[in-house]
Structure 1
Amino acid sequence: MEIVEVMIEAARKAGKILKSGYESNYDIKVKSSSSDLVTSVDIDSQNAIIEVLKKVPDISIMAEESQDKQTDTKRIFYVDPLDGTLNFVHGIPFFGVSIGYWENETPIAGVVYDPLRNELFYGIKGKGAYLNDKRLSARKKELKDSILSTGIPYDRQKIFRTIEETKNILPLVQEVRILGSAALSLCYLAAGRIDGYWEDEIYPWDVAAGIAISTEIGLKITNFDGKRYELKDREIVCTLPKIHGEILKALNFKFA
């Protein structure tokens, strides 16, 4: 069985847990802030994913809800068992499972599953990106006709910068949305539903899968300095190549 097939099996298994847990009773705990939550559904989903991924030997697993997030191996699964937990808790139907596989800091495969819509996004290095087996392709759009997505940092001190970023970008584009899931934002970008995504406070399990998918259709992915995104970066900009430079320029203002 190929690695991506195992990843899809894990995502679908976890997706069943999310779907059955949605709007049911579950435990909720606060992590770093009032908007950074973890539920018992996150944990159940993560356990199910790890159980399946262990079918593949010699690959480390870095998962959001695990205590140990350090690994020195070169082959790693990055797992977010419930990306969009705050949406999930409030009954907003926009969340999913995210599993990325990287080797030597390079995206090899990504799987993101939205169980409520039964939408499976996946990408494989050199083999393209897909939505439910329909191949996704790049397209062109003018900046003024573009819709972008961003996210609100858990660190409340960083919110003011995000507000300023949005104020700079809004006059240039058609609209900006806050969707509440980094993984699905990247997949919606790959599918042509939005045209760009940026965020200030991001972690590998949030974006590893989405980057693997987005890379396969030629989207531009950098940090705020315009350098190739690396997993150690806490900021990301992913857009259609044509509009990337203008978005970076709008983001790189002087902020005291």
Structure 2
Amino acid sequence: MSGASAGEPARLLGLATAIALEAGALARERRAAGVSLAATKSTLADIVTEADREVEALIRSRLQAERAGDGFLGEESGVGESTTGVTWVVDPIDGTVNYAYGIPGYSVSIAAVRGDVDPDRWEALAAVVYAPALGELFSASRGGGAWLAGQRLAVTTETPAGALLATGFGYDPATHDGDLATVRGVMPLARDLRRMGSAAIDLAYVAAGRLDGYFERGLNPWDLAAGALLVEEAGGIVSRFDTASARPMLVAAGPELHARLSQVLDTEK
């Protein structure tokens, strides 16, 4: 394993799992108590809740206590440099709008990566996507497979009736026409389309075979870090294309569907 000892992914996964469960419990408690909006992010529709910040602070403090030299890249609190080569990439509540509206499709996403904090250059070592309102924890370690409730996950390999696909749209209205045009382009491959509002859950569902594929522009590193490793360890392929643009395209699916989606989206360079 390049750059990592044989047992390191499993150790990192154990820590990520314990912290994700604690963080998810806190998110669920705060949701039950009522959501307070703290700010907006990219647009007025892209919100941050007080719970996002509180959950990320909990995750960061637990990691600091256990692995003080590791780096940190979080949606709410930015970058902390690594002296160990390992960085934790964290989205405390992926699907914040779902969370704010009381829709259960939100998750805590935690990944440990080695190397550069760039999705195209890092090596993901361990990943957890925990959906506390749904009671499901998806996990993966490099070389150790992807798992849910003791069952090893595998992507779908055949889509004879068409592919069940998921996607997402940016919050900036200026991007909506382009995103809808992309959807029109892939619909000949699709059985149907899902739009669930959490990239981490979408990727976990591809890993679990609940979705055949997923594509979306404009994801941040914390949106995809954990879910991408889940898909890869379940036998799928995750690629980012058009990375020089402000909104790179991510495509995740089993090998055959990944190739077809990439061709239709004209993202293979």
Structure 2, unmatched stretches of 5+, are 1-9, 116-121
Shift in Å, 1:205: 0.5
SS at match of 1:101: strand
Question: Do the aligned residues in 1 keep the contact of 2:35 with 2:100 (CA within 8 Å)?
Answer: no
- The aligned counterpart of 1:18 is 27
Question: Do the aligned residues in 2 keep the contact of 1:26 with 1:39 (CA within 8 Å)?
Answer: yes
Question: Do the aligned residues in 1 keep the contact of 2:71 with 2:80 (CA within 8 Å)?
Answer: no
Shift in Å, 1:156: 2.5
- 1:182 equivalent to 2:199? Answer yes
- 1:150 equivalent to 2:150? Answer no
Per-residue CA distance 1:2-35 (angstroms, 9 max, x = gap): 2211111110011111111224323202222122
Q: Structure 2-normalised TM-score?
A: 0.86
- 1:201 equivalent to 2:211? Answer no
Closer/same/farther in 2, CA of residues 236 and 70 from structure 1, 3 Å limit: farther
Q: Which amino acid aligns with 2:50?
A: S
Structure 2 counterpart of 1:127, from 119, 141, 144? 144
- The aligned counterpart of 1:118 is 135
Report the Cα distance in structure 1 between the residues aligned to 2:155 and 2:249, rounded to whole angstroms.
Answer: 23
Closer/same/farther in 2, CA of residues 233 and 160 from structure 1, 3 Å limit: closer
Per-residue CA distance 1:116-144 (angstroms, 9 max, x = gap): 12111000001111012221124312264
Report the Cα distance in structure 1 between the residues aligned to 2:134 and 2:17, rounded to whole angstroms.
Answer: 16
Structure 2 counterpart of 1:52, from 62, 67, 70? 62
- 1:40 equivalent to 2:50? Answer yes
- The aligned counterpart of 1:245 is 259
- The aligned counterpart of 2:41 is 31
Report the Cα distance in structure 2 between the residues aligned to 1:144 and 1:35, rounded to whole angstroms.
Answer: 36
Report the Cα distance in structure 2 between the residues aligned to 1:187 and 1:53, rounded to whole angstroms.
Answer: 23
SS at match of 1:122: strand
- The aligned counterpart of 2:5 is none
Per-residue CA distance 1:174-200 (angstroms, 9 max, x = gap): 011111000010001101110111111
Closer/same/farther in 2, CA of residues 53 and 234 from structure 1, 3 Å limit: farther
* 1:93-104 correspondence to structure 2 within 5 Å: 93-104=104-115
Q: Structure 1-normalised TM-score?
A: 0.90
Q: Which amino acid aligns with 1:175?
A: D
| Residues paired across the two proteins, number | 248
Question: Do the aligned residues in 1 keep the contact of 2:146 with 2:153 (CA within 8 Å)?
Answer: yes
Shift in Å, 1:70: 6.8
- 1:8 equivalent to 2:17? Answer yes
Question: Do the aligned residues in 2 keep the contact of 1:222 with 1:236 (CA within 8 Å)?
Answer: yes
RMSD: 2.2
Structure 1, unmatched stretches of 5+, are none
SS at match of 2:105: coil
Question: Do the aligned residues in 2 keep the contact of 1:224 with 1:251 (CA within 8 Å)?
Answer: no
Report the Cα distance in structure 1 between the residues aligned to 2:124 and 2:63, rounded to whole angstroms.
Answer: 17
Q: Which runs of 4 or more aligned residues in structure 1 lie more than 6 Å from their structure 2 counterparts after TM superposition? A: none
Structure 2 counterpart of 1:107, from 121, 124, 143? 124
The percentage of aligned residue pairs carrying the same residue is 31
Question: Do the aligned residues in 2 keep the contact of 1:83 with 1:96 (CA within 8 Å)?
Answer: yes
Report the Cα distance in structure 2 between the residues aligned to 1:233 and 1:61, rounded to whole angstroms.
Answer: 23
Structure 1 counterpart of 2:187, from 151, 170, 175? 170
